[in-house]
Structure 1
């Protein structure tokens, strides 16, 4: 983990607000992907999941990001500053 410069950020157990962004991602994944699809095999799941994740990060706009996509938001901070956005953070519940 250290070699890849990945850091852990711990949330509090039974406190979804401490990790609200990842909780929202899981909620959207369940609502927009899992509940709307059925699959015959693991390859179908893999292909559909990759397509959904491309949509989620590159096409879907978010009010909380000033109606930008996560990719647009990330690029904005890569250009302006690397202090506000770290794409190598892993959130873990305590």
Structure 2
């Protein structure tokens, strides 16, 4: 890949960003359950079998999407945490 440029940045700032991403991941993931619950309530109130099935499919997709987004944010948080530690080590800090 090449490289050889200088390494820089503030490990504490990166770690703080990771913590904020982790908080966001938790918030997004909790909405997955809410979407599924709302879908089951909505489908039972639809009054039409085709509409109920469509609502159920939509809610399942929305739940899966928010769950996946939460996992991606959590992975980004882990990357930031690890990058902070690596940067600290590379620049001579001790973490």
Q: TM-score, normalised by structure 1?
A: 0.28
| TM-score, normalization by structure 2 | 0.28
Which structure dedicates a bigger proportion of its chain to strand? Answer: 1
More helix by share: 2
Larger Rg: 2
